[in-house]
């Protein structure tokens, strides 16, 4: 059978509140044209993030009841530890409340002034934690990863030549670590090949540089390796994951993604000395090492989630869902980052809305248009998120103006996806009427979360889109 179906039945449902276009215009105006400021109840399909927003299975809920809430030595911790150790072979495993807590601890120990942390592409919180430690984060994404419209199998790869050169020019003692983000979230949810991991590891080993993995979406990455890389077709996802982690000296993980949980994460390490320093910080910042930042029930949900996420039926449906949306968008020549990634579709707002200059935030305009059209909430990854101002106050734009539609795991059905596609197509057909925006208020850091926007001139969405 060719038809893509959900590899699950629905046992418990959550009601969606519907709104009219007029209500949504009102809601968006009250939220200053920033969907981050909209109440979740006013959203019909929430594609803001795939982080912690997925559905848990009946097995996960059952295991939650089994959670051992003992302060020290909880049974749930030993189960959590053994599942992660089986996948990663790491001796030291620390639970944390979410991915960024693992980053904070790790970079407090291995980061610091005058150091570099090299990556294919760092996620925002990873970069922020590196910078907070005094170190500098450097992205060395491969050339094809920077071409939005060009499809290539492993656009998440690090540029091996650039890595070699960076180490030669700056000195190996200044490189605190190399950390590979799999899949590469900020680079479009694109996978990293095993060959690339192996090559990067080899360079690190030559120079005695620790090699880490940001493993948030490791299972999605392993599925791409199985599909696209020679020699992996007959291997299980677990075997591929075991090989992936075998190259690493440690990893950070947000279990809110491929842990299939609503909260949680971990830091895993091989080196005893690094582990000791991290354990000491863990106790101050998160909690006793057998619970870290989590309840026993969360440890159970994550342990079961990590087992379920490697099931091939699940991954084939997950990656297939993105491809399903991509194929529909292709029928209308709608521009998006190609090929579709593991957890999200990234619309190319610059090509979608060529009449809106970058200093009028085409990504945010498209974001708002999707909300007005169908109550869909997405996130701008462009000049609102990453743009900076020069001395005269003019915008230094981001490299790309993308709009990310991240799919929560096991949460929306294929008919929800059809609804999303219809909304995108409708906005595309009426794209000439979508207007640019200006920022009326911004905070000094991470301005996209709280920015207040206004439509350019006297245009309103009432005359623009209705
Ligand atoms: N690393 C990557 C690659 C991520 O995508 C995220 C979170 C983190 C680290 C931090 O994990 O949120 O548990 O602290 N990404 C979410 C997103 C927020 O929407 O992409 P966290």
Q: Which fold has domain 58-308?
A: 3.40.640
Contacts of 176 (CB under 8 A, 6+ apart): 107, 110, 111, 112, 115, 116, 117, 135, 209, 210
3 state SS of 331: helix
pTM: 0.95
Distance 358 CA to ligand 1 centre (A): 26
Computed on alpha carbons and rounded to an integer, the radius of gyration of the chain in Å comes to: 22
Which residue's CA is the closest to the ligand 1 atom numbered 5?
A: 185
Q: Which of 100, 129, 184, 255 has most ligand 1 atoms within 8 Å of its beta carbon, as the pocket-test mutant?
A: 100
C-alpha 212/C-alpha 139 separation (Å) is 14
Contacts of 62 (CB under 8 A, 6+ apart): none
Where in the chain do CATH 3.40.640.10 domains reside?
A: 58-308
Q: Which of 132, 179, 256 has most ligand 1 atoms within 8 Å of its beta carbon, as the pocket-test mutant?
A: 256
Atom of ligand 1 nearest to the CA of 101: 14
Distance 39 CA to ligand 1 centre (A): 21
Where in the chain do CATH 3.90.1150.10 domains reside?
A: 21-50+311-465
Give the binding-site residues of ligand 1, using a 6 Å CB cut-off: 49, 51, 98-100, 123, 125-126, 181, 185, 214, 216, 254, 256, 265
C-alpha 105/C-alpha 279 separation (Å) is 9
What values do phi and psi take at 341, rounded to 5? -95, -155
Q: Which of 190, 216, 217 has most ligand 1 atoms within 8 Å of its beta carbon, as the pocket-test mutant?
A: 216
Distance 254 CA to ligand 1 centre (A): 6
Atom of ligand 1 nearest to the CA of 51: 16
Specify whether domain 21-50+311-465 bears CATH 3.40.50.300: no
Structural contact between residues 374 and 420, judged by C-beta atoms closer than 8 angstroms: yes
Q: What is the pLDDT along the chain (466 residues), one digit of tens a residue?
A: 889 999 999 999 999 999 999 999 999 999 999 999 999 999 999 999 999 999 999 999 999 999 999 999 999 999 999 999 999 999 999 999 999 999 999 999 999 999 999 999 999 899 999 999 999 999 999 999 999 999 999 999 999 999 999 999 999 999 999 999 999 998 899 999 999 999 999 999 999 999 999 999 999 999 999 999 999 999 999 999 999 999 999 999 999 999 999 999 999 999 999 999 999 999 999 999 999 999 999 999 999 999 999 999 999 999 999 999 999 999 999 999 999 999 999 999 999 999 999 999 999 999 999 999 999 999 999 999 989 888 888 899 999 999 999 999 999 999 999 999 999 999 999 999 999 999 999 888 788 999 999 998 755 444 545 4
Element (H, E) at 252: strand 250-254
């Amino acid at each position: 059978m060719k038809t893509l179906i959900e590899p699950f039945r629905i046992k418990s449902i959550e009601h969606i509140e519907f709104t009219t276009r007029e209500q949504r215009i009102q809601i968006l105006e009250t939220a200053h044209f920033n969907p981050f400021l909209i109440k979740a109840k006013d959203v019909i399909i929430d594609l803001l993030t795939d982080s912690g927003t997925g559905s848990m299975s009946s097995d996960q809920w059952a295991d939650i009841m089994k959670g051992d809430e003992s302060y020290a030595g909880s049974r749930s911790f030993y189960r959590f530890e053994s599942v992660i150790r089986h996948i990663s072979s790491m001796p030291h495993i620390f639970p944390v409340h979410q991915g960024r807590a693992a980053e904070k601890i790790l970079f407090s120990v291995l980061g610091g002034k005058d150091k570099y942390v090299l990556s294919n592409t760092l996620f925002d919180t990873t970069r922020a934690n590196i910078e907070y430690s005094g170190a500098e984060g450097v992205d060395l994404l491969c050339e094809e990863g920077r071409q939005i419209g060009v499809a290539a199998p492993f656009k998440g790869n690090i540029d091996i030549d650039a890595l070699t050169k960076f180490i030669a020019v700056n000195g190996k003692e200044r490189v605190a670590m190399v950390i590979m983000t799999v899949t590469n979230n900020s680079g479009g949810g694109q996978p990293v090949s095993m060959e690339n991991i192996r090559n990067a590891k080899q360079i690190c080993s030559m120079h005695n540089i620790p090699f880490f993995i940001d493993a948030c979406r490791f299972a999605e990455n392993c599925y791409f390796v199985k599909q696209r890389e020679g020699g992996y077709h007959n291997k299980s996802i677990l075997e591929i994951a075991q090989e992936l982690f075998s190259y690493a000296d440690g990893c950070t993980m947000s279990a809110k993604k491929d842990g299939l949980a609503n909260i949680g994460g971990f830091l895993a390490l091989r080196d005893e000395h690094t582990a000791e320093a991290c354990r000491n910080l863990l106790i101050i910042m998160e909690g006793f090492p057998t619970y870290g930042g989590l309840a026993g029930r969360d440890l159970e949900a994550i342990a079961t989630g990590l087992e379920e996420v490697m099931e091939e039926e699940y991954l084939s449906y997950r990656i297939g869902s993105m491809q399903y949306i991509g194929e529909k968008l292709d029928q209308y020549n709608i521009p998006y980052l190609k090929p579709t990634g593991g957890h999200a579709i990234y619309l190319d707002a610059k090509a979608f809305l060529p009449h809106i200059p970058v200093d009028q935030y085409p990504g945010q305009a498209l974001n708002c248009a999707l909300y007005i059209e169908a109550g869909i909430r997405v996130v701008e990854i462009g000049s609102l998120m990453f743009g900076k101002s020069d001395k005269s106050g003019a915008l230094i734009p981001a490299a790309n103006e993308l709009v990310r539609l991240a799919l929560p795991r096991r949460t929306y059905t294929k008919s929800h996806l059809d609804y999303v596609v219809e909304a995108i197509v409708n906005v595309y057909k009426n794209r000439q009427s979508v207007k640019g925006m200006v920022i009326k208020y911004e905070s000094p850091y991470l301005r996209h979360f709280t920015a207040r926007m206004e439509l350019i001139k006297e245009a309103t969405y009432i005359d623009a889109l209705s």
